[in-house]
Chain A
Amino acid sequence: MKKKSIKEESSCSRREFIKIGGAVAAGLQVGAVAGAGLAAGKDPSTHTGWQHLGDNTQFVDRTKLVREGPAYEIVGETLRPARQESAFGRQGLIMRDMWQYREMIQSFNAGEERQQGMGNRQSVTERETAPEVTGGVRPPGEASDFPPVEAFTEPMLSYYKARPDLYELDKVRIEEIMPKKRQDHKNYGEYYTLINAWSDSWSTHERISEPPEESDYKIGPRQRIGDPKPFKSPAHASRLIKKVAHHFGATMVGITTIEPDWCYNYDLRGSENRETYEVPKHWKYVIAFGVPHQWEQVNSNPNSGTSFDAYSRSSIAARRLETFIKSLGYPARRHSPMDGYDLIAVPYLVKSGLGEQGRHGIVITPETGSNFRAAFVTTNLEMEIDQPIDFGVKEFCEHCQICAEICPSGSISKDKSNEGMNTRGYRHWEINQTSCYNFWMQSMGGMGCRLCLIACPYSRKSNWVHSLARKLDTNDPSGLVDNGLTMMQKKLFDAPEAQEYLPPPDGRFANYRQPPEWLQVKNYLDIEVSDPTIGE
């Protein structure tokens, strides 16, 4: 009886031990899972990084995503882009006309002084434009003002008459934003010393100095390309080109054919002709590829980030690929951020199946979302081409609007869909390039913004949780995952409000996330800085 009791007691205590042990094991398992989660989140191999040959590059099998039909729906007369349509392109035209306007005002001032006996010497320009020569009437305003619409010459005169809204935005940039920017640099420039150095280091470049008929057939300044080496088939050519482009630093690669509408209608690089040109006959194929930004700094946009890291890397990849193709005897020309483009990036990325155009006007890929920069090589090497893809971006962007809500300049449309939008005959999301550019000019650090690029839910890291979300989203026709993910991003992930990214006093030069410690001046440099992000 006593023995039995001891046995029962022993059995009971063993049972209790197993039960408590199991509870402890469950606790430990929760701890282990939390630790594993931390490690998975921190893992640098999940950065959507450069020249990473692992499973976060080209991991999407696009054959399942191919859709029928053309890259864009044509909704009007299709046109090639003119220089003045681009906020960057018309900058040169604005400067030219502003310069003439200033000269005219100064010469009128000098003429008035001469008439008042305060001077009698004329400069060469004054001899041509002085009021006593031209009989002109003194224009209103000061030499430092943005000229009135009538003072512009063609094509800006007609353009501004047709787009008075853009005239106003350009005027604000020249008269208010630029002087303010200079003042901000004076006050806070040193706070951004490291990001500026980092940005500048990526922005070295060289220019193409000969027209396509020359430069595309040369390796270096003198060596002509040899006879073309035949490939076994276009599919073999395509496979090899994608493989080497990948090794040259391209994360994603797609191939398509040239579309004249999507080649700029001015400033063919290397050509003396600055206006319209025929698209060269040997530009038959376009190899499109993308390289993501360095992960830590891209999150600290708009004031502590830069475009130049990915610009530089995609440009270097383009140079390497151009040379590779030329070495096989085929003409080739690179189109890249550091060497300039003769074609528009976005539609070729869409047509080559790298991604879909989002609400923010740029392309979203299945691999890195919007976090990438594109470069291209045009050639006549015959290759198998890729088709546009559909992985649900159109539907996602229609209800997401995160990029539009966070955009400090309000440049991104908040319309329900892009119906009715018509860009030179093609339907796609449009942004206000000029107000976007105006914000670029206000931001500090490596200039630009990139907020829409990084706030896009598709641009998150490539770790298991975001990869799973992307996979579920791609394969869910009901839209439930779309809605769930958008809600989660808005409710779970903090980000400053759009206004906060503006310069003081309207904003506080906020960043989407804190810059990495190696881009914070206080950690490395012994200089006095004024931190604008903490407010007055």
Chain B
Amino acid sequence: MARKPGETIWSDAGRWLMITLSLVFVLFPIVWLTVASLKTRNAALAVPPELIFTPDFDAYSRIFSGGFLGAFQNSLIIALTNVFLTLLLGVPAAYALTRMRGKVQENLSFWLLSIRMAPLFAVILPLYVLFKSLGLLDTPLAVSMAHLTLTLPLAVWMLVTYFRTIPEDLDQAALLDGANSLQILWLVIIPIARPMLASVAILVFIYSWNEFLLAFILTSRNAQTVPVAVASLAGTMSFDWPLIAAVSVVSMLPALVFVGFAQRHIVSGLGSGAVK
């Protein structure tokens, strides 16, 4: 039996030790946060920590009474709008990129990749000025549009990789049947790509949901998102640790959906542009 790449340096015991350690490192903070969200204010601050306690859901009810429902609503609207815009613009673009040849295609692809490399800070000030002059500051639409800087290149990259695997013969066959380009995309390509589109949508949703800096700069009160709410809570003097923990736990729900649908292309889609 030939050894496989992963076996080259780890023995079996070493490998499992490594896996266990990495899982502890990754999961411990998440577990700890969840536990803290179920404690009363005093219990959360106890040193040494109480390991056995009665779970208390008061922090979660304070999410409602403290007015954080609006932030969740905003985040949801912003992320969903962004997913819609990203797919609406990204799917045809990715399809075009895989069916085009030559210089234009190469340049467009390179340009899309290079957008991933622009420092976010470079676009923030101009976007702030732009949305301010359009009167769109502190609206969900502004944040959704700004998030396109992150999500559109991501979606196009994931989709290009996938569309390449759909043979062009299918296009040709549909063309012979009298379909036009739009019909080919809508009736042939998109139905085939449906599982992939779902993965892209999940990932784009997560990106938009998690994003902080653009949402932070472009909103003040009305369109505040969940990450911005967490940050402003963590900036107050009287710390309500369990409440922040509870808001954080709820904000991790999309991440849990991600783990639940741990299909290969969602996971590897995270490295899009880097992992070819």
Partners in one complex: no
Binding site for B on A (CB under 8 A): none
Binding site for A on B (CB under 8 A): none
